[in-house]
Structure 1
């Protein structure tokens, strides 16, 4: 079934991969960007551009969508304004518009921000609070928490778990994006939060081990 998926942060490094993957799977990727100058780039990836700012009204961007993948990030410049409050703003807009399915790109370490590096504490705290807000919402959520991101080519194989450890490894952004898209397609992952690193198991098979039988 073809559905319209809003990609928040479509011009970001993970978001570009997500947009392209959705287009390849014959879905409609509504590619949300803040800067109008970025619309041509996401359109070239197969996305349907929409200009909206997570810190402002996003109702028009959400309207008519069937699902949302949150791949936006502040790049460390405004973690509470974008990574937390921007996510919360989009969650509220999704509920108001009747968009049930929401896949969140979070971060490994968000379960215990104070135990991570000092430089990441605010970021992980922002992610943790956004994740918890999503869990408490009425949406059908899946929360994906990758480790350190790289720009290596994706392998299509990963490791998943619920307590891997913040310094246990890394993962290409391309594989994170593919995991977000695959997770969206599996309703059995609704309500699940999992950590993600590069590994030896194909993504579909790895995700099949998460949900309870």
Structure 2
């Protein structure tokens, strides 16, 4: 019942790994290089070195679900956005299906379905997320797609919303709250073929996302 966390060394990924490990969820952190291993080993978290731009199939062995929270990052160009946020995401969906994993959880973005309405510099990213989400929906693996709003570094509150109507139009969510929500979803195996917007709000995560 191990979850492979792809993008484990990212800002959300590290928090997911730490929380999940503390709560007793078996996880494996997929990292890009051995130099990233120290932090995870200090936490007692299992790691596997694999590159999304190379062959990563062996990282899935022994896992029954995968969380994709990888991203090309804000300082790369559209080429890396295509390779990581789109192409790698589709390859992960294919590998999850090929190896018979139970579910794939995808971190997408709110309003990814409207990339032309995003600020110009974000349009390639949003288009990549839109296409990756569509590919996952049509794949053979069950899925959960989480669509956070604008990410902040605020502390976790453990309280979220799933629509702008709940927040009065506030489109923000802390990475810490996203991480807590993802860990909750990791343990809710009956939630599948489901999509949700995720924002800072007033409801407890279990109430907002269902149990």
Check whether TM > 0.5: yes
Compute the TM-score of the two structures, normalised by the length of structure 2: 0.92
1:170-181 alignment runs, 5 A limit: 170-181=172-183
Unaligned runs of 5+ in 1: none
Per the alignment, residue 32 of structure 2 pairs with 34
Contact 1:10–1:42 (CA<8 Å) still a contact in 2? no
Hey, what's the Cα distance between the residues in 2 that align with 1:34 and 1:161? Answer: 34
Pairing partner for 2:23 from 22, 25, 29: 25
Residue 155 of structure 2 corresponds to residue 157 of structure 1: no
1:102-181 alignment runs, 5 A limit: 102-161=104-163, 168-181=170-183
Pairing partner for 2:196 from 179, 194, 197: 194
SS at match of 1:104: strand
Compute the TM-score of the two structures, normalised by the length of structure 1: 0.91
Aligned-residue RMSD, C-alpha: 1.8
Per the alignment, residue 15 of structure 1 pairs with 13
Hey, what's the Cα distance between the residues in 2 that align with 1:157 and 1:44? Answer: 29
Distance 1:162 1:140, change over 3 A: farther
Give the count of matched residue pairs.
Answer: 206
Unaligned runs of 5+ in 2: none
Per the alignment, residue 103 of structure 2 pairs with 101
Contact 2:164–2:170 (CA<8 Å) still a contact in 1? no
Per mean C-alpha deviation after superposition, the further-off stretch among 36-45 and 3-12 is 36-45
1:87-98 alignment runs, 5 A limit: 87-98=89-100
Hey, what's the Cα distance between the residues in 1 that align with 2:176 and 2:60? Answer: 25
Per mean C-alpha deviation after superposition, the further-off stretch among 178-187 and 4-13 is 178-187
